[in-house]
């Protein structure tokens, strides 16, 4: 697929997504690498635009440069936003109590702290992404390992074999110091995401290095 056709497909996908106002989003494509520019009304809308672009067949990568602008209202003060963010985390049944700290500067929320599972780190960010006034989220929460490397590798390999969309025998998994390295081939971008998600789902994983190739 050439870049011109791919660009139009991405524009169509953005227009199709009901939660996005695509009128102010610019799309450029260079050799399958998509750059999104312009502005949207919320951080959640910004994330949705990136996901929509990634779904389009032929996309090899996405550079997201969309800005958040709060049309018709003043951006909330950082201290007020921080209070609301802490409250949202306190309400979450998934995020451990007092495990995550919040810092806000110019609407950007930085999350720090320690949790035991990757899904808890992701849930802390998900709890705040629709919070009004958030311009962006930097998730620096650490996942502290609770399992040894051999157990982590076995759990990931088992998860890959259970997934009918992934050719598990083509994927090599290595684990060292809670870091998972993935090598091998997948047939499509979404399969790559499935493999990464399987790696992140194992307890104690702190980072995933993706050396998978499309082929």
pLDDT tens string, the chain, 215 residues long: the values are 788 999 999 999 999 988 888 888 999 999 999 999 988 888 888 888 998 999 899 999 999 888 887 666 667 788 988 999 999 999 988 899 889 999 998 888 999 999 888 889 999 999 898 888 888 899 999 987 666 778 888 888 888 888 777 788 888 899 887 889 999 888 878 888 888 888 888 877 888 999 988 87
Q: 141, 95 in Cβ contact below 8 A?
A: no
3-state helix, strand, coil in the chain (%, to 5): 40, 30, 30
The whole-angstrom separation of Cα 199 and Cα 160 is 9
**Any idea which residue has 């035991």 for tokens?**
116
In CATH, what number does 78-143 get? 3.30.1340.30
pLDDT tens across 147-180, in order? 677 888 888 888 888 877 778 888 889 988 788 9
Q: Which two tokens stand for residue 45?
A: 């809308």
Please, what is the end-to-end C-alpha distance for the chain in angstroms?
Answer: 15
The whole-angstrom separation of Cα 141 and Cα 96 is 12
Residue among 4, 24, 5 at smallest CA distance from 14: 24
Domain positions in the chain: 3-68, 78-143, 149-214
Predicted local distance difference test score (pLDDT) of residue 39: 86
Predicted local distance difference test score (pLDDT) of residue 74: 66
Q: Beta strand pairing status for 108-115 and 100-105?
A: antiparallel
Q: What topology does CATH give the domain 3-68?
A: 3.30.1340
SS3 176: strand
pTM as predicted: 0.52
Predicted local distance difference test score (pLDDT) of residue 202: 82
Q: 121, 96 in Cβ contact below 8 A?
A: no
Q: Beta strand pairing status for 33-40 and 108-115?
A: unpaired
Please give the DSSP secondary-structure letter assigned to residue 22: G
Q: Do domains 3-68 and 149-214 have the same CATH topology?
A: yes
Q: What topology does CATH give the domain 149-214?
A: 3.30.1340
Q: 123, 149 in Cβ contact below 8 A?
A: no
Q: 78, 104 in Cβ contact below 8 A?
A: yes
206: Cβ contacts below 8 Å, ≥ 6 apart: 142, 143, 144, 145, 178, 179
């Amino acid at each position: 697929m050439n870049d011109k056709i791919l660009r139009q497909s991405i524009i169509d996908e953005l227009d199709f997504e009901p939660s996005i106002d695509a009128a102010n989003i610019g799309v450029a494509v260079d050799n399958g690498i998509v750059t999104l520019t312009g502005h949207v009304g919320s951080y959640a809308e910004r994330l949705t635009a990136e996901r929509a672009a990634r779904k389009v067949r032929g996309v090899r990568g996405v550079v997201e440069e969309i800005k958040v602008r709060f049309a018709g209202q003043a951006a909330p003060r950082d201290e007020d936003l921080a209070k609301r963010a802490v409250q949202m985390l306190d309400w979450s049944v998934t995020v451990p109590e007092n495990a995550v700290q919040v810092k806000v500067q110019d609407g950007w929320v930085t999350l720090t702290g320690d949790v035991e599972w990757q899904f808890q780190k992701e849930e802390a960010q998900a709890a705040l992404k629709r919070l009004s006034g958030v311009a962006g989220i930097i998730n620096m929460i650490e996942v502290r390992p609770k399992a040894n490397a051999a157990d982590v590798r076995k759990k990931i390999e088992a998860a890959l074999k259970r997934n009918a969309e992934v050719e598990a025998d083509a994927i090599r998994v290595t684990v060292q110091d809670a870091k998972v390295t993935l090598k091998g081939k997948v047939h499509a971008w979404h399969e790559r995401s499935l493999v990464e998600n399987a790696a992140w789902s194992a307890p104690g994983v702190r980072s995933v290095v993706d050396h998978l190739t499309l082929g």
